[in-house]
Amino acid sequence: MRIAMLGLGSVGKGIARAILEQDLGLSLTAVADSKSGRIEPSGIDIASMLEQKERTGMCGTPGVGAADILASDAYDILIEVSPTNAETGEPALGYIREALSRGMSVVTSNKGPVALDYQSLHLLAKEHGAYLRYEATVCGAIPIMHTIESGLAGNTITKLYGVFNGTCNYILTRMAEEGLTYQQALLEARELGYAEADPTYDVKGIDAAIKLVILANAVWGMEKTLDDVEITGIDGVTTAAIALAEEQDLTIRLIGEIIPAEDVLRVSPRIIPKSHPLVVEETLNAVAIDTEMAGEITLIGKGAGSLETASAVISDLLFIRDCHGRRS
């Protein structure tokens, strides 16, 4: 199966390495970064392409870009892993639309387009007989979409809640464990590369809220946007508040929750028993799914990282390959 990939940052490199190192039956035939691109229908030599990227900052020839790749016949599935824009979704949104309109399936890790325009992308894919998959957009390596779609098929999901942001979880964990102030814990998270220079997106709960929007729209077919989520971040949480909770074997975590029956879509710091399965350490993510038949299922795993995100993307690729032609 021939793969084209747009974006060669940390996630893109992880995917390229996985294709190179594991015998998955996938061939990378086109790739573009922000400055260059290459199209090789017979298959790219990934090792030398990565080496060139490392050395020059470019994966191919300047002037070759996403548009050339999208218009070529060199691929069967597009992997869209360019940087996220939460406000417009562009340019990724345009790339995804273009590929779907050509009947090509798309796998993306890009939260912006999926959160902003899920319904119309979903329809576009259906219209052209293509797949759109986005496992990597929510909870990194945790197979939340596959679990709900396949593993829990036939179940009604009554509630979904969890820890969707590793940065916030790290900060709260450190405040609880070491009695650090919010500012100290944030600084530490930055030094370790867990928080961006501008941490607003994470600590204000926006990142977690975007994931809830994706889940609400994809799992229940709702038509929600970021404005529909009630959001409270962790930037007001004090070490003293956590200490008060800890007196009773409780702690504080940033929890995102969707309860469709009550029209609840909320991200907020919550008091939670330390023994609760959602109380995970450091940058881990955790999500609990309440169902009618299966009861409660809790998934815990890494929510970010190059190889971890690559794992989610690869699973989507293989899902499309293995299901292709099987659907009615």
Partner 1 sequence: MPFPFPPYNVVKDLSRSRLKYFQDAINVQVSMKLEMKDSPGQLVSVIQPISEIGGNILSVIHERDPAVKSDVLDVQILCEIPEGSLEPLLESFKQRGVSVLRIGEERLLVRRSVILIGHLIHTDISDTIGKIDSTGFAEVHALSMIMPAINEPSSTKMTIKSDSLANINRALDILRDVARQKEFLIIEPLEDV
Which parts of this chain interact with partner 1 (CB under 8 A)?
A: 158-159, 161, 232, 236-238, 240-241, 243-245, 247-248, 250, 252, 255, 268-273, 275-282, 284, 286, 290, 295-296, 298, 300
Q: Give 131 or 182: the residue with its C-beta nearer to partner 1.
A: 182
Minimum CB separation of residue 192 from partner 1 in Å reads 14
Minimum CB separation of residue 274 from partner 1 in Å reads 8
Minimum CB separation of residue 143 from partner 1 in Å reads 17
Minimum CB separation of residue 173 from partner 1 in Å reads 10
Q: Give 34 or 291: the residue with its C-beta nearer to partner 1.
A: 291
Q: Which residues contact 150 (CB under 8 A, 6 or more apart)?
A: none
Q: Give 158 or 184: the residue with its C-beta nearer to partner 1.
A: 158
Residue 322, classified by CB atoms within 10 Å of its CB into exposed (0-12), middle (13-18) or buried (19+), is: exposed
Mind telling me the catalytic residues? 211
Pick from 191, 177, 187, 208: nearest CA to 303: 208
SS3 per residue for the chain: CEEEEECCCHHHHHHHHHHHHCCCCCEEEEEECCCEEEECCCCCCHHHHHHHHHHHCCCCEECCCHHHHHHCCCCCEEEECCCCCCCCCCCHHHHHHHHHHCCCEEEECCHHHHHHHHHHHHHHHHHCCCCEECHHHCCCCCCHHHHHHHHCCCCCEEEEEEECCHHHHHHHHHHHHHCCCHHHHHHHHHHCCCCCCCCHHHHCCHHHHHHHHHHHHHHHCCCCCHHHCEECCCCCCCHHHHHHHHCCCEEEEEEEEEEHHHCEEEEEEEEEECCCCCCCCCCEEEEEEEECCCCEEEEEEECCCHHHHHHHHHHHHHHHHHHCCCCC
Q: Give 53 or 270: the residue with its C-beta nearer to partner 1.
A: 270
Minimum CB separation of residue 295 from partner 1 in Å reads 7
Q: Give 27 or 239: the residue with its C-beta nearer to partner 1.
A: 239
Minimum CB separation of residue 272 from partner 1 in Å reads 5
